[in-house]
Structure 1
């Protein structure tokens, strides 16, 4: 498991193939590793040069595919597949308990454990849930564990028994230390991908790929499952039959990168096993291809890539872990380096299992430099979604529409301008339900409209003032002339609101004054500006 906190990347759990004389024995990985992301490092060097390690105490079970979520003081480790251990190798070590969690403090570097509350739970005992699909949502301060499998262990036989896939979404709320299981309409899914994305109106989880039905059915990448945390509801976006999608795969890893203006997100998938047969999906080959799904257009693209060196290329791996780090890198760690599920793996000795993918150059490299440049959308993806390498995507949804009307609102992205104003470029204001077609036009148009409104209002008021001044001078001139012609001049007719047929009264319905006339004092510039703004906005 991998998670970031305070500029550090933490790697925990998993399993390992122990070397001679215990060749062929799989056991728990009981080491916590940490990597400082504020410093440069080189993965081609021995891992001791850039990764810090510390042994789990005997009270902490070594687990695989567990929930590993950040807390204010460190991390919580819960659930997961526990590998029965050989005490000759590992010494005496406690096994996991379903209704307890293990907490690690980053400052104290100490582990503690405490009880947890389980709601809507499926089973308690020797069977527990294990899943690689987890996500932490910072704004909600909640964690999510999706799908996975039920597993059972027998500590005396050193065997792990895997049962059917878990059809549920488990929500962790650290505020009350509660884990709540919620059955999904999707069926059981294991070894797929789960990614969290923030939209203008929601915090969503996107699930893709994986396997089902006792590893006899693959989940196709033309069906993307979307969970709205705001509505606690699942949706599925169906891609067109002719859409280009990856070959079904499972046991891969995912990493998320986002355009700097927020106009699109890219989900990268790497590694994993492609489908074998409909009966035995594990019989397929390990894949080396790199694919990316762009959101919100829901279009897939396969990316060409190169390698700085043979050693920098991870090749095909089963169950690696990915984590977006820095500006434009993906940290890729671990996994079984094998051509297929049933072949003997080539071990990464001394835990030198780290690899780096530079998204901007599409290169497997070995050098990481923090705060270097910024993420650039691959040209292959730009060709599909529009805009350029920095953003400005012109596609705000799937070309052939949404599978559910609700998704148009749920998936509307909150974009920002390059000026750093923090104001979204949505045409409907701050609710973000209807994004504009491009950041350049939308970011400029509100300023232009306001300028035109204010300028028009000022000009209108000035025109009214001049007209009234001219009318007063003309009136005085006529009065003076009339007084010279007659000793009893006629009184001028009263002026009512609306008498100025071309004046501001036509733009100001509310300027009617009961029982009297409309005077310049009753035409405040603010009122005129507001009415003109409202009229143009309709």
Structure 2
């Protein structure tokens, strides 16, 4: 049973001023809010690079200004637990997450325990320390690996990195002519192939570590969940191979991975594959080897392609961070250099390493935090870790349809397959892509089968209903948005019926002879006894496409021949003209 801390505490406005810098923070989007914590921060009226025992969040149903300091009116915060074991002061902590819950996982933290992890449930606004079984499947203190989450199933993945051997030795170092000091050295050794799988599909209280299936050492690289195959895949690339010592004279330094080497893990078969990527228009489209970059995933409206967009990172070629944007298009495994021509709303002539990329509705990639430096070895000075500097902002917004930097985040922006992508794949803005694999095909039939099917799109919650504080709340009880919505609709129905009956009874009691009572059929009551309705239309040549009404309906719907379906158990409810419609929320998200 998790240890509960606090209950339904409302988010409160900060008084710390505008946010100028965030470095090494953990970030994730859950329930329509962008959360971030840990790392270091600089506020307009505070010290540079300070630790904050806070969980910050930005509501993504509202617009905010990008390419500037983040206004204090654009984000909120709540206190993190005061427990001494909470890793608020970590520079290597990450967020694993489900539909409702953030997991504060610190794989390299001295006090970290894989069997006791702090969580934050965004639906009921509660922190808890959760006991996780299966700790024997987790190598402790592993550094800077790749990680990804599948919030629809509640499974989270972490792989690669360095293992801390815990071997320490001391030596004397001279500082100046007379001073000497004792320095503790901590040796890190390459980790063997392994994968950590945190399974919270049964709810936070029953989470467990599963035995992984090995994998590449993704040190400082990225890992992304993509909806290919029967259960989805993980796609990893970039960073450093700690077992390759051929690139540098120092044998302790690992070599950069070539960005054409793409690792694919099929969750259903538990197998790793390697695919060689190419440049969409030639070798110049392939990004240079790099580490400490970030990635976000978008999918074409018909799921016939997926785009992994990357930004920033530290490049080997110029010994400095980069400001370039690239896209890896699946299933053709082709790179495209899509760096915006106008960098005025990006990082300009500077580069950014250790940023966090957070994708909103496929259409906008929010770049949060990171270290900003000159993008060439002759001038790679860090410019954003001292006093507040609005010229080098903590947050950028990239439109992933047009690949342009934006000065404002637009919560209602919708996604179309980018022109540069569909020209390469032989489709259009909706998808309809003719190419279904790399040039020359996949090198084995298993990969061909994986990329011939996709996992059904499941819209994530964009908001949670407001909950009243309850000191007796049970942290083990599974979240049930469907039940909340059902109760709300039932309550509204009861109120409407009661008001209608009271008005009818009042009219009968008055018995005014020259004003007859209104007939039952004239009452303006909501008609909640409607029947299921669906609209079926052809979608493309000889095809049908369905969208379940669980989230936002795609834009430009007038231009689509589309079938929209309600769940088979749903009933279409209608209100009479002039009444406000009752909004329906999705069913209970899976943990």
Give TM-score, length-normalised by structure 1: 0.66
CA separation of 1:347 and 1:57: change in aligned 2, threshold 3 A = farther
Identify the residue that residue 144 of structure 2 maps to in structure 1. 131
Contact 2:309 2:327 in 1 (8 A): yes
Please report the RMSD computed on the Cα atoms of aligned residues, expressed in angstroms: 4.0
* Structure 1 position 226 matched with structure 2 position 251: no
Instruction: Find the aligned partners of 2:314 and 2:70 in 1 and give their Cα distance.
Output: 28
Identify the residue that residue 438 of structure 2 maps to in structure 1. 398
Instruction: Find the aligned partners of 1:191 and 1:427 in 2 and give their Cα distance.
Output: 46
Which of the residues 376, 380, 398 maps onto 2:420?
380
Which of the residues 410, 429, 438 maps onto 1:389?
429
TM-fit CA distance, 1:16: 5.3
Which of the residues 26, 30, 36 maps onto 2:59?
36
Identify the residue that residue 347 of structure 1 maps to in structure 2. 384
Query: How is 1:434-473 mapped onto 2 (pairs within 5 angstroms)?
Result: none
TM-fit CA distance, 1:37: 0.8
TM-fit CA distance, 1:391: 1.5
* Structure 1 position 173 matched with structure 2 position 189: no
Identify the residue that residue 249 of structure 1 maps to in structure 2. 290
Contact 1:320 1:334 in 2 (8 A): yes
Query: How is 1:120-519 mapped onto 2 (pairs within 5 angstroms)?
Result: 120-121=136-137, 123-124=139-140, 128-131=141-144, 133-151=146-164, 161=186, 163-166=188-191, 167-174=193-200, 175=202, 176-182=206-212, 184-186=214-216, 188-199=217-228, 201-213=230-242, 215-239=253-277, 244-275=285-316, 284-307=319-342, 309=344, 313=348, 315-326=350-361, 328-339=363-374, 345-347=382-384, 353-372=394-413, 374-414=414-454
Contact 2:369 2:395 in 1 (8 A): yes
Contact 1:264 1:393 in 2 (8 A): yes
Contact 1:256 1:324 in 2 (8 A): yes
Instruction: Find the aligned partners of 1:231 and 1:118 in 2 and give their Cα distance.
Output: 21
Which of the residues 122, 128, 132 maps onto 1:112?
128
CA separation of 1:21 and 1:141: change in aligned 2, threshold 3 A = closer
Deviations 1:60-79 (A, max 9, x none): 22234434233465322123
SS in structure 2 of the partner of residue 34 of structure 1: strand
CA separation of 1:423 and 1:81: change in aligned 2, threshold 3 A = farther
Identify the residue that residue 103 of structure 1 maps to in structure 2. 119
TM-fit CA distance, 1:320: 0.4
Contact 1:152 1:160 in 2 (8 A): no
TM-fit CA distance, 1:304: 3.5
Instruction: Find the aligned partners of 1:200 and 1:425 in 2 and give their Cα distance.
Output: 24
Contact 2:301 2:415 in 1 (8 A): yes
TM-fit CA distance, 1:146: 1.8
CA separation of 1:65 and 1:361: change in aligned 2, threshold 3 A = same
TM-fit CA distance, 1:327: 5.2
Identify the residue that residue 53 of structure 1 maps to in structure 2. 77
**Greater CA drift, 400-409 or 302-311:** 302-311
TM-fit CA distance, 1:119: 4.6
SS in structure 1 of the partner of residue 374 of structure 2: coil
SS in structure 2 of the partner of residue 150 of structure 1: strand
Instruction: Find the aligned partners of 1:334 and 1:296 in 2 and give their Cα distance.
Output: 30
Deviations 1:217-247 (A, max 9, x none): 1111212111011011101112469755211
Contact 1:224 1:238 in 2 (8 A): yes
Contact 1:323 1:330 in 2 (8 A): yes
**Greater CA drift, 266-275 or 344-353:** 344-353
Give the number of aligned pairs: 406
Contact 2:362 2:415 in 1 (8 A): yes
Contact 2:30 2:99 in 1 (8 A): no
Identify the residue that residue 518 of structure 1 maps to in structure 2. none
TM-fit CA distance, 1:314: 8.9
Instruction: Find the aligned partners of 1:357 and 1:209 in 2 and give their Cα distance.
Output: 21
TM-fit CA distance, 1:215: 4.4
- Structure number with higher helix proportion: 1
SS in structure 2 of the partner of residue 338 of structure 1: strand
Deviations 1:384-440 (A, max 9, x none): 2111233121100111121222100011144999x996999999999xxxxxxxxxx
Instruction: Find the aligned partners of 1:181 and 1:422 in 2 and give their Cα distance.
Output: 46
Q: Stretches of 4+ moved more than 6 A in 1?
A: 17-23, 157-160, 419-430
CA separation of 1:162 and 1:255: change in aligned 2, threshold 3 A = farther
Instruction: Find the aligned partners of 1:162 and 1:376 in 2 and give their Cα distance.
Output: 48
Instruction: Find the aligned partners of 1:19 and 1:371 in 2 and give their Cα distance.
Output: 29
Contact 2:263 2:275 in 1 (8 A): yes
Structure 1 unaligned spans of 5+: 85-94, 277-282, 431-442, 445-538
Structure 2 unaligned spans of 5+: 1-25, 169-181, 243-251, 458-533, 546-559, 562-591
Instruction: Find the aligned partners of 1:311 and 1:429 in 2 and give their Cα distance.
Output: 40
Instruction: Find the aligned partners of 2:258 and 2:543 in 1 and give their Cα distance.
Output: 35
CA separation of 1:289 and 1:52: change in aligned 2, threshold 3 A = same
Instruction: Find the aligned partners of 2:298 and 2:535 in 1 and give their Cα distance.
Output: 19
